[in-house]
Amino acid sequence: MWFPRLASDRVLRARPVEGPFALTRIVANADRLACLNPAAERAGLSRGMPLADARAFCPGLRTRPADPHADARFLGALRRWATRYCPWVGREGCDGLVLDVTGSTHLIGGEAAMLADMRQRLARAGITVRLGLADTRGAAWALARYGEAPAPPGATAQAIGPLPVAALRLEPDTVTALQRLGLRSIADLAAAARAPLARRFGRGLMMRLDQALGDQPEQIAPEPEPPRYATRLTLPEPIGLTADVMAGTERLLQALCARLKDRETGARALVLTLRRVDQDSQQVELRLARPLRDAARILPLFERGVTQVEAGFGIDRMRLEAVQVEPLPVRQLSHVGDTGKARLDDLITRIGTRIGLENVQRVLPADSHIPERAFLVAAAAFSDPGPSWGSPRPRPLRLFPPEPVAGHGPRPPQDFRWRRMALQTGRATGPERIAPEWWMADEAWRSGLRDYWRVETRQGRRLWMFHTPQAPGWFVHGEFA
Amino acid sequence: MSGLDPALFPPKPARMHEACGPGAAAFAAVLAAQLDGPVLWVLESWRADMLTPQGLSAFFDPARLLIARAKDQTEVLAVTEEALRGKTLSLVVAELARPIGLTPGRRLQLAAGEGRTLGLCLIADGAGSNAAETRWHCAPVFDADPGIGDSTPMRWEIIKNKSGTLGAWHVRWEHATRRLHVVSPAGERPGSQGAAG
């Protein structure tokens, strides 16, 4: 199966355009045409032509940038669709599919009926396709691109014989060299002496020929079907009550959790899509603090999101998908159990559904002398408690952005005002010198070295102040217990 | 010199309490040190000041600490209520910037009772809620005579108590043993020459 105009068909399916149309791609700093529709080809354009030339040929040309990733996804969707004909479907390059239909043609009604069915369905979908059917993969490739007639069983050599040598999946250089030698068709090549050709062109040429003629086997590698963690429910009558939606969700969850359990995975993020009668759809997202596949525990977490859904005239379709899954091996039951941790994770999830899972944080130790960087703040759902903390020197309970106070000289000021309070220094302990980390550009540490003092004021407040000797000034940076 | 009344500290479990004054965070840290299990500290995300784990490690293991940053005070209250009902935490500390009414206070009180969890609101001076079980005013005091190495004298005063008496104590936290000592007021100890705090 070859889709000669896969990319432009894909774009034109989404928004049809009358007249010449092309997709452009930047190759070697110039916009070049990547894929054309038939109208553009009739206007004399061809692939690889610079866009400026194409515009001169055909002023009415409409273009759009090409998107190879979307094309690959589209081909993937076609590949899944093609499994309706046979289970062995693989990709062939970036614009073709290869199907091993051995033993499955009779299900559709024979080879001719199957090809007609494929053509009809793809034409209805607006996709240009060229089909080749032969005993071998190489011959089918050649027929799809250069022939377009099914080869009868056992007559592969006759069917592909008149085709040019380019139909053998060869490098362009090899094709040119063969044509110079006068070997224009596959029949010519098959009739030539093998040994000199193998010496001249390497074994690749002979391998391709043998593969096309069936003397050498070639396998089709069907792509693994990625596991899909999604379930859906269509209702005969629309529903609107929260309890009904939750009952539906429970059914979906049980099916989904059974699937997760089969593959020993747990869901980390779930999306519940509720489709209303008036075609509007609403989504309830749920992110979990740790992978789960226990329907009874996930269900209550959906309650908050479901109550916020506007049901309108009613909901008649529900779809639940685990958009993010993580491995969750089956564990041996034990009498010890860590229910405390599980319940804490549930609580983090519940809080996370309200304020966002990344806003529930825990602190982890970090290796730095800079007080603000001596610890890391990490999302609690994605980290484990760190090792124990040591603090060789007393550190304040709270840190705030440095607040300047009046003072000069290397000793803490005797009297100063901070936050509209008049304070007197009762006792000062220090200095503790902390140098900026030269390998980190930090705006706050531009003033250079800091001499930290623990200042106990006669009013009671115990402050952590620093003096910057390189840019004289006094600041309050934190407060002790 | 009398010990801290065991009926008053640690405060009644499964109730909501309040602490105000400049030493409120230290009060919360001491309270967390008296209890076992995870501690959730709920605050609004706009706050520029941060708790330092190194500072907290003088009181309890910061690995027990979870921090929830909420968008505004309504979210802070909602998260606090959810956490109090969760039954897994030992202490929930909520930093409130504005005074809360009787209804939110009562909701927190009911949630604390249902989840058997101790709750503590850190409030501004004079911004207490009527629903709170006790309210403590905590302030560090200056001790001219440091005596032992850690100079952490504080004055704790109960300024509201629904089911008991009021009182004031001078306390000191010992870092090495992680114990709270009740001491006589600074400047009134025998042999001290400094002024009162």
Tell me how far CA of residue A272 lies from CA of A75, A164, A220, A403, in angstroms: 27, 54, 37, 48
Tokens read off for B129: 């809620």
Contact (CB, 8 A) for B130 and B159: no
Per-residue confidence band for B186, with pLDDT thresholds at 50, 70 and 90: low
Q: Nearest CB to B48: which of A390, A395, A401?
A: A401
Nearest CB to A481 within list B55, B78, B146: B55
Q: Could you write out the DSSP letters of every residue in A151-174?
A: PPTT-HHHHHTTSBGGGGT--HHH
Is A25:A65 a contact under the CB 8 Å cutoff?
A: yes
Q: What is the pLDDT of residue B196?
A: 41
- Give the closest of B52, B82, B197 to A397, CB-based: B52
Q: What is the pLDDT of residue A9?
A: 79
- The encoded tokens of residue A166 equal 């380019």
Average pLDDT by stretches of 10, chain A with 481 residues: 78 77 81 81 80 81 83 86 83 82 82 86 84 82 77 74 80 83 80 81 81 78 78 91 92 92 90 90 87 87 88 90 88 70 86 88 87 87 79 85 90 92 90 89 86 91 92 92 79
Count of CB atoms within 10 A of residue B187's CB?
16
> Identity (one letter) of the amino acid at A116?
A
CATH class belonging to A230-353: alpha beta
How far apart are the C-alpha atoms of A101 and A87, rounded to whole Å? Answer: 8
Is A386 part of the contact surface with chain B (CB cutoff 8 Å)?
A: yes
Q: Check CB contact of A390 with chain B, cutoff 8 Å.
A: yes
Note the maximum CA span of chain A.
Answer: 107
Going by C-alpha positions, the residue among A375, A344, A373, A372 that lies closest to residue A360 is: A344
Q: Chain B residues with CB inside 8 Å of A457's CB? A: 142
Chain B CB contacts of A427 below 8 Å: 144, 146, 151
Q: Is the pLDDT of residue B127 over 90?
A: no
The yes-or-no verdict on residue B148 having pLDDT over 70 is no
Nearest CB to B70 within list A355, A362, A457:
A355
Domain locations in chain A as residue ranges:
6-70, 72-213, 230-353, 398-479
A48 lies within 8 A of chain B by CB:
no
> Under DSSP, is residue B164 helix (H, G, I), strand (E, B) or coil?
coil
At residue A97, φ and ψ (nearest 5 deg) are -130, 150
Identify the band that residue B189 occupies on the pLDDT scale cut at 50, 70 and 90.
low
What is the pLDDT at residue A279? 85
Which A residues in the span 393-432 are in contact with B, Cβ-Cβ below 8 Å? 394-401, 426-427
Q: Provide the 8-state DSSP code for A434.
A: E
Using CA coordinates, name the residue in chain A closest to B140. Answer: A460
Distance CA(B163)–CA(A63), nearest Å, equals 80
Q: Tell me the average pLDDT across B40-53.
A: 90
Q: In percent, how much of chain B has pLDDT > 90?
A: 51
Average pLDDT, chain B: 86
Q: Are A455 and A462 in contact (CB under 8 A)?
A: yes
pLDDT at A375: 87
CA A314/CA B69 separation, integer angstroms = 36
The answer to whether the CB of A300 falls within 8 A of the CB of A353 is no
In this predicted structure, what is the pLDDT of residue A415?
A: 93
Length of chain B: 197
Cα-Cα end-to-end distance for chain B: 17
B2 pLDDT higher than 80: no
Q: Which domains does chain B have, with CATH numbers?
A: 16-183 (3.40.50.300)
Q: Supply the CATH classification number for the domain A6-70.
A: 3.40.1170.60
* Cβ neighbour number for residue A199 with a 10 Å cutoff: 9
Q: What is the pLDDT of residue B194?
A: 45
Taking an 8 Å cut-off on Cβ atoms, the answer to whether B195 and A371 are in contact is no
Q: Which residues of A touch B59 (CB under 8 A)?
A: 481
Where residue B187 falls among pLDDT bands split at 50, 70, 90? Answer: low
Q: In CATH terms, are A6-70 and A230-353 the same topology?
A: no
ipTM: 0.88
What gap in Å lies between CA B99 and CA B102, rounded to an integer? Answer: 10
Mention every residue, 6+ apart, whose C-beta is less than 8 A from residue B82: A347, A350, A351, A354, B111
Say yes or no to pLDDT of B192 above 60.
no
Q: What is the largest CA-CA distance in chain B?
A: 52
Q: What angle do CA A172, A174, A177 make, to 5 degrees?
A: 110
List phi, psi (to 5°) of A111.
Answer: -65, -45
User: Which residues, 6+ apart, have CB-to-CB distance to A114 below 8 Å?
Assistant: A85, A101, A105, A108
